[in-house]
Amino acid sequence: MNDKINPRSFMLVKFLLTLGLIFNYTISLIAFVNAINWKNKNQLMDTYIYISVETLLLISSIVCLLIFYFVRRDINKKLKHNYTKKEKYQILLIIFFLILVFTISFINLFSIMFLFINIYIFIVSLLCFQLLFGITISILESFSRLSEQSIVNRQWFENEDELKKDSKKLKVKISEKKDDFNPFMQEEKDD
């Protein structure tokens, strides 16, 4: 079972994708809060701090999504699974929507340079699109890994069933030995 992939690795993959998208959403939310505070003529944070925080969130998002990619690729290589045409199409759509999410994040990152009267409406509309794209990415990612996950689950649980059968055989052997063995009877024979 050590050479098999644990089905929980797919939870890690989903977690990394979700975390990367949450970092992108946070970029938009901070840009929105900063735009509202700009409209009210009180700055929430200095421009340098704003760009630093936004850049840190963007880098964190990129790191999470790169780790997601490498873990997913590693799982695929270990399984030696060939994607179907439908799965390849879903993965291309995921990449396309991720590019859109990052484009929106870059726009929101530099929205401080384009502060106009209704910038917060613009940022909210971009955030809504970003959330919609993120939900679409999550759904497509789940569909694209269904066949891989079924293979991993089948292999993992077949091995567990074999281990359970082996342990039942051991229990039967142990119980047979216990039926024949009585420590009190042997003591009496020795006396």
Per run of 10 residues, the mean pLDDT along the chain (length 191 residues) is 67 88 91 78 71 91 92 85 88 93 88 74 89 92 84 76 64 57 56 47
Q: Which residues contact 149 (CB under 8 A, 6 or more apart)?
A: 7, 10
Tell me what pLDDT residue 181 has.
59
pTM of the model: 0.73
Tell me what pLDDT residue 168 has.
64
Tell me what pLDDT residue 1 has.
44
Establish how many alpha carbons lie within 13 A of residue 117's alpha carbon, considering only the half-sphere containing its beta carbon.
0
Give the three-state DSSP class for 65.
helix
Q: For residues 67 and 75, what is the distance between their CA atoms, to the nearest angstrom? A: 12
